[in-house]
Amino acid sequence: MCLKDKEVIVTTRKGYILNPNLDWNIDFVELQKAYNQINEGAELLDEKEFKIARKIFRLYQGRFYASPSQLHWILQKQEVFRQMYVKTMMRTSCYLYTQKRYDEMMLMNYQAVLIEPFNEGLHYYYMKGLVATRNYREALKYYDELNDIFLSELGTGLSKRFKQLYDIIIADHAKEENKDMETIMRELSNRDQQNQGFFCSYEIFKYFYELLLKMSVRNEQNYYLIMLQFSDGTLDYEKVGVDFDRVKRLVSSCLRSNDLFTRTSETQLLLLVDCQTEENAHLIIQRISNKFYSIFRKKNYRMNYSVHKAELDRNR
C-alpha cells in the first residue's frame, strides 16, 4: 500500500488514532490473537498450536519503545506481553521435549534466553536438552557458568531443580562407555593453571568439603574456611562486581593447587585451605590482601574476611 497523500494518524474526540480506513497489520495485536488461540485448549500444545506458538516466538522482540511521558503505561503493557511470551516458550519447550525434538527445542531456547536472560525455566529446558542429547560436559559447563551469572547479577544461585538436574548429569555421565587408562590419565592431568587454586561451583565445593574433611581425620590434617567479602569504600557491591572476574583470578593466583574456592554471592568468595594452624590461614589472607590492594588501590575497593576451622557435623 502506498501511504503517500494518506493520513496515517487521524484526530477524534478521544485523541489520536490510526486511520481506520487503512488496513493495518500490527505485531502486538497479532501476538495477542495468537496467544488467545493457543490458550483455548489443554495446557500441553499439539502440533497445530505449536505452529501458532512459533508465530509468537517470531513476533516478540523484547522491550517496547516508550517516551518518558508514556513510560509507566508502556511498562505495564510490556510486562503483559513478556508474560505471554515466557509462558508460550515454556509450553513450547515442554511440547518439543515430549516429542524428543531436542535440537529444535534448544535452538528456540537459546534464542529466547538472549531476550529473557534471567528466566530460569528457559535455561532449565536448554540444559535438559543437553542431557537428553548426552552432551554432559557442555551441560556441566553451562551449569557452572549460569550459576556464576545468577550469583553475579541477582545475588542468588540456581534453584533446587537445577541441583537435581545436575545430579542426573553426573549419574548419566558415569554411564558412558568405558575408557582406557591412558585416556583417563591424560584427561585427569590436562588441567589449566595447575599451580593455582581450584575454582568450582558451590555444589562441587560441598562435595569436596565433605570428602577432604573425612580424609583429614585419617591423615591428621587441618582445613580452614576463609570467607572473603569485597566492596568499594561505600559498601557499593555493584561497583566491585564489575571487576569480580579479576578478583577471582587474583585470589586463584595466591592459592596452592590443593586449595579450593567458590563464589557464594555477587561479591563473596569462600576458600577451603589446607593449613595446620589458623596462623597459616592468615598468611594466605595476607598474601591475597597485599596483591588485592596493590591492584585496586586507585578504585578504593575493600576486602573483609573471616576465618573458621573446617569441621563436619558429627551429629549427622
Distance separating alpha carbons of residues 50 and 251, to the nearest angstrom: 49
Domains of the chain: 9-172 (1.25.40.10), 194-309 (3.30.70.270)
Distance separating alpha carbons of residues 281 and 307, to the nearest angstrom: 8
Q: What is the structure's pLDDT at 214?
A: 86
Give 86-137 pLDDT, tens digit per residue: 898 999 999 999 999 988 898 888 888 888 888 888 999 999 998 888 888 8
pTM of this structure: 0.56
Question: Cell digits for 167?
Answer: 545430579
* CA neighbor of 272 nearest in space, from 219, 169, 202: 202
Give 47-75 pLDDT, tens digit per residue: 888 888 888 888 887 765 555 555 666 67
Q: What is the structure's pLDDT at 225?
A: 95
